[in-house]
């Protein structure tokens, strides 16, 4: 793990000369890093340490220090709460559906784009496909309003012109998990496909050549060369996806559903609940405890998936 | 050279082996998808140019029945909220991007020096923040205790360091030859001079990519504003847009009467107005997007290389 570059070796300088010596010798570099360290400590490490709030009963006027220790009672309260099963199942189900439908989608798009030989056409389609990634969820909510509004929406207009009954989209909880999955795919498919296209272009061309010499058809080349070639990328993105299973997409939920309680049954996820009940409702300790729960479960899942992926001979993130 | 020749050979094979029906089908599928990505923007644009009365009778349509810019005029003249949010967002985009890029890239430079003692420790220090976080409420309390709530600073100071971008920039710096630094050091340059005069000028491509990513992020910013800002004069464009969109429409009862209807947002939320607001906050991105998209791609490809 001794990390020396040529220059240092040539000068015969070792990095193991003691803390004071190192701090002095590399003073400038450490000074350059100082602002980063300060920011990370303030806005990342301090909040991490602030999770002890989950074991306190936070009362604003008593402050962080003055508030009483309550042990596990916040967690007990959460587990006993009727909202909890709903929050967990919504968060997990929406994410599982997103992975189930949304994970293969950009891979398929990348494979389709890879088959296009006209460079101009490919560029145009690609450029258009990742446009939605760069608008905010708020803008998407405006688009959804245009499409799904009960009185004026384009979709209901179409349904009515075909002689069908208009649908009360914003009152139908049973439809919203699908809507969340579809909008999520719409927004991210193009952008995510770039990663896979990059992985495809990094595949050694001689593998294709060998496959062709062996008489492989275009489909067989895709199946036996392209797909195995992008598996490491697939594996890494999958692990990251699993790690995020406990995290709802706050932006999406807040923008598209917001405070429409008619839809909470299927759309209320942990992140929005933490904001709505924890922060706006002033139940800071409960919100913190839920956040801690998310963070721990998320971490365990990343570690576990990483382990399994490696056991199966795949690529891990570490 | 060898690579490009063998690649061309494969291309020739392709032409002979790829079934023509598949290529036609593929082109049709991709064309339909492209329409699917663009159509929603078109529909919003159409609605924003339609007179309110027509929306009331016909709803949102594919083509505007009549063309008017009154929603846009109203958006900018009825109250200064929208213009104000524009100013806040513009300022935030410039200052926030400069602030984030300056500190993040300097940190990335430090992490990229292979000979630096404790480099691995520092990298771990950065990496841990990507695995764990304290969650919304402790974060809010920290920012609050720093006295930043309801100030402009809350919108960009907590987001100063972008760890993911820092690791990407670090990878780029590590790809630059060591000899650059060595020769500059021999000429008596210190670390600051090496960084600002030699490394940075050579890193313009990655910096351009980062500027665009970070700037788009700040342009679309509403989360910090939602959490930290209650003062309307500090609302970002997207948050104001959210307010405009979520106010219930009263236009049905006040048919054609854009003037009388005001709500908590202080704007008359007629339907075309909502759509115009969506357009105005999206158009800057739509306009610059085609020119910048190659940088997006470049950045993502650099970032996706595991390192």
**Cβ A272 vs Cβ A290: under 8 Å:** no
pLDDT of residue A38: 96
Beta carbons of A175 and A169 less than 8 angstroms apart: yes
- φ and ψ at A68, to 5 degrees? -75, 145
Other Cβ atoms less than 10 A from the Cβ of B163: the count is 18
Interatomic CA distance for residues A146 and A139, integer angstroms: 11
pLDDT at residue B253 in the model:
37
- Are the beta carbons of A51 and B60 separated by less than 8 Å? no
| Domains defined along chain B, listed by start | 2-58 (no CATH), 81-229 (1.10.3720.10)
Q: Do A47 and B142 touch (CB under 8 A)?
A: yes
pLDDT, averaged across chain B:
83
The distance of Cα A134 from the centroid of its chain, to the nearest Å, equals: 15
* pLDDT at residue number B8: 47
Residues of chain A below pLDDT 50: 1-7, 9-12
Average pLDDT over residues B232-237: 94
The reply to whether B230 touches chain A by the CB within 8 Å rule is no
> Is some CB atom of chain A closer than 8 A to the CB atom of B130?
no
- The DSSP annotation for chain A comes to -----HHHHHHT--S-S-HHHHHHHTHHHHHHHHHHHHHHIIIIIHHHHGGGGGGEE--TTTHHHHSEE-TTHHHHHHHH-THHHHHHHHHHHHHHHHHHHHTHHHHHHHHHHHH---HHHHHHHHHHHTTGGGS-HHHHHHHHHHHH-TTT-HHHHHHHHTTPPP--GGG-HHHHHHHHHHHHHHHHHHHHHHHHHHHHHTS-HHHHHHHHHTT--HHHHIIIIIHHHHHHHHHHHHHHHHHTTT---HHHHHHHTTT-GGGHHHH--HHHHIIIIIIIT--HHHHHHHHHHHHHHHHHHHHHHHHHHHHTT-----
Cβ atoms of residues B52 and B270 within 8 Å:
yes
Of B6, B191, B274, the CB nearest to A209: B6
Residues of B with Cβ-Cβ distance to A153 under 8 angstroms: 59-60
pLDDT tens-digit map of B274-292: 999 999 999 888 888 777 7
C-alpha dihedral sign at B55, B58, B60, B65: negative
| Interval B100-121: pLDDT, tens | 999 999 999 999 999 999 999 9
Task: Give the pLDDT confidence score for residue B301 in this predicted structure.
Answer: 64
pLDDT of residue B265: 38
Tell me which residue in A42, A135, A295 faces B133 most closely, judged by beta carbons.
A295
Where are the strands (E) in chain B, listed by range? none
Question: How many Å from the N-terminal Cα to the C-terminal Cα in chain A?
Answer: 16
Q: Do A42 and B146 touch (CB under 8 A)?
A: yes
Domain with CATH 1.10.3720.10 in chain A: 73-311
- pLDDT at res. A16: 62
pLDDT of residue B16: 45
| Structural Rg of chain A based on CA atoms | 26
Residue B228 burial (C-beta neighbours within 10 Å; 0-12, 13-18, 19+): buried
Band (B269; pLDDT cuts 50, 70, 90): very low
Task: State the maximum Cα–Cα separation within chain A, in Å, rounded to a whole number.
Answer: 85
Q: Considering CB atoms only, which of A7, A47, A109 is closest to B115?
A: A7
Q: Do A291 and B137 make contact, defined as CB atoms within 8 angstroms?
A: yes
For A73-311, which CATH superfamily applies? MetI-like (1.10.3720.10)
Tell me whether B291 touches chain A (CB under 8 Å): no
Q: Is A149 in CB contact (< 8 Å) with chain B?
A: yes
Main-chain dihedrals φ then ψ at residue A104, nearest 5 degrees: -70, -25
B 40-59 residues with CB < 8 A to A = 40-41, 43-44, 47, 55-56, 58-59
ipTM of the complex: 0.86
Check residue B248 and give its pLDDT.
60
- A117 vs A198, A207, A208, B25, B71, CA distance in Å? 16, 19, 16, 13, 44
Rounded CA separation B17/A94 (Å): 41
Predicted pLDDT at B304: 52
The single residue listed with the structure tokens 């992490």 is: B111
Give residues with Cβ within 8 angstroms of A302, minimum separation 6.
A239, A240, A242, A243, A317, B131
CA distance B294 to chain A (A): 9
Q: How far apart are CA A197 and CA A123, in angstroms?
A: 12
Burial (CB count <10 Å: 0-12, 13-18, 19+), residue A41: middle
- Partner B contacted by A128 (CB < 8 A): yes
What is the pLDDT, as a whole number, of residue A308?
83
Alpha-helical regions (H) of B146-270: 163-175, 178-186, 191-193, 200-202, 204-219, 223-228, 237-246
Tell me what the mean pLDDT of segment B237-256 comes to. 69
The partner residue sitting opposite A152, judged by closest CB among B60, B107, B282, is B60
Q: Mind listing the pLDDT tens digit for each residue in B132-191?
A: 888 899 999 999 999 999 999 999 999 999 898 899 899 889 988 888 899 999 998 999
Question: Given an 8 Å threshold on Cβ–Cβ distance, is A154 in contact with B120?
Answer: no
In 3D space, the residue among A145, A14, A37, A91 whose CA is nearest the CA of residue B275 turns out to be A145
- Phi, psi (rounded to 5 degrees) for B67: -115, 125
Residue B7 has pLDDT above 60, yes or no: no
8-state DSSP, A181: H
> By the 8 A CB rule, do A148 and B59 touch?
no
Distance from CA of B140 to the nearest CA of A (A): 8
How high is the pLDDT of residue A241?
A: 84
Rounded to two decimals, the pTM is 0.87
Chain A residues close to B40, C-beta within 8 Å: 143, 146-147
Query: In the prediction, which pLDDT does B307 show?
Result: 36
pLDDT per position as a tens digit, B9-53: 445 444 445 688 888 999 999 999 999 999 999 999 999 998 888
Residue A103 has phi, psi (to 5 degrees) of -75, -45
- Under DSSP, the state recorded for B110 is H
Confidence check: pLDDT of B305 > 60:
no
Would the CA dihedral through B33, B38, B39, B41 be positive or negative? positive
Q: What is the CA radius of gyration of chain B?
A: 25
pLDDT at B263: 42
What does the block give as tokens for B85?
A: 């949010």
Q: How far is CA B244 from CA A256, A276, B238, B253, B273, in A?
A: 14, 20, 10, 18, 9
pLDDT exceeds 60 at position B258: no
By C-alpha distance, which of B268, B209, B158, B106 is closest to A36?
B106
| Chain B residues whose beta carbon lies within 8 Å of the beta carbon of residue A251 | 223
């Amino acid at each position: 793990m001794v990390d020396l570059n040529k220059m240092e070796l040539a000068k015969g300088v070792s990095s193991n000369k003691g803390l004071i010596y190192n701090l002095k010798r590399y003073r400038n570099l450490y000074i350059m890093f100082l602002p980063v360290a300060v920011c990370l400590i303030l806005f990342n490490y301090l909040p991490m340490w602030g999770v002890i709030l989950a074991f306190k009963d936070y009362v604003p006027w008593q402050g962080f220090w003055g508030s009483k220790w309550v042990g596990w009672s916040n967690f007990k309260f959460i587990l006993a709460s009727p909202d909890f099963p709903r929050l967990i199942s919504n968060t997990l189900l929406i994410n599982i559906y997103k992975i189930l439908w949304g994970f293969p989608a950009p891979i398929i798009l990348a494979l389709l784009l890879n088959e296009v030989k006209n460079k101009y056409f490919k560029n145009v389609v690609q450029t258009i496909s990742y446009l939605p990634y760069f608008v905010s969820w708020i803008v998407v909510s405006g688009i959804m309003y245009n499409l799904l509004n009960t009185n004026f929406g384009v979709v209901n207009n179409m349904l009515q012109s075909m002689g069908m009954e208009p649908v009360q989209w914003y009152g139908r909880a049973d439809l919203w998990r699908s809507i969340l999955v579809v909008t999520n795919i719409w927004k991210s498919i193009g952008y995510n496909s770039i990663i896979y296209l990059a992985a495809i272009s990094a595949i050694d061309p001689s593998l294709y050549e060998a496959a062709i010499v062996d008489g492989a058809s275009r489909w067989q080349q895709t199946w036996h060369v392209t797909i195995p070639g992008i598996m490491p990328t697939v594996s890494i993105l999958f692990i990251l996806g699993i790690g995020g299973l406990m995290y709802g997409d706050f932006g999406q939920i807040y923008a598209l559903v917001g405070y429409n309680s008619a839809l909470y049954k299927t759309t209320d996820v942990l992140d929005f609940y933490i904001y709505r009940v924890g922060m706006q409702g002033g139940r800071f300790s409960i919100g913190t405890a839920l956040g801690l729960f998310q963070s721990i479960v998320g971490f365990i899942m990343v570690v576990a998936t990483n382990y399994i992926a490696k056991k199966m001979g795949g690529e891990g993130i570490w | 050279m060898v690579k490009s020749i063998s690649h061309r050979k494969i291309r020739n094979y392709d032409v002979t082996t790829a079934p023509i029906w598949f290529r036609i089908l593929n082109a049709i599928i991709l064309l339909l998808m492209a329409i699917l990505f663009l159509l929603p923007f078109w529909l919003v644009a159409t609605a924003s140019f339609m007179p309110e009365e027509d929306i009331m009778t016909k709803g949102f349509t594919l083509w505007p029945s009549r063309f008017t810019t009154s929603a846009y005029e109203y958006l900018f003249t009825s109250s200064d909220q929208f213009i104000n949010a524009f100013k806040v967002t513009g300022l935030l985009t410039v200052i926030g991007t400069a602030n984030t890029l300056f500190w993040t890239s300097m940190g990335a430079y430090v992490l990229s020096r292979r000979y630096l003692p404790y480099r691995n420790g520092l990298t771990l220090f950065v990496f841990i923040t990507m695995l764990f976080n304290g969650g919304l409420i402790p974060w809010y309390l920290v920012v609050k205790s720093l006295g930043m709530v309801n100030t402009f600073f809350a919108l960009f100071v907590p987001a100063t360091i972008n760890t993911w971008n820092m690791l990407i920039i670090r990878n780029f710096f590590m790809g630059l030859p060591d000899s650059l630094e060595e020769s500059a050091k021999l000429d008596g340059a210190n670390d600051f001079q090496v960084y600002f005069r030699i490394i940075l000028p050579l890193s313009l491509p990655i910096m351009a990519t980062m500027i665009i990513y970070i700037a788009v992020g700040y342009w679309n910013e509403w989360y910090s504003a939602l959490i930290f800002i209650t003062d309307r004069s500090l609302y970002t464009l997207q948050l104001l847009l959210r307010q405009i969109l979520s106010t219930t429409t009263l236009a049905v009862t006040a048919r054609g009467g854009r003037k009388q209807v005001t709500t908590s947002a202080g704007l008359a939320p007629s339907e075309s107005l909502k759509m115009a607001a969506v357009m105005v906050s999206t158009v800057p991105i739509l306009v610059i997007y085609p020119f910048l998209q190659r940088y997006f791609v470049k950045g993502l490809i650099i970032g996706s290389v595991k390192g």
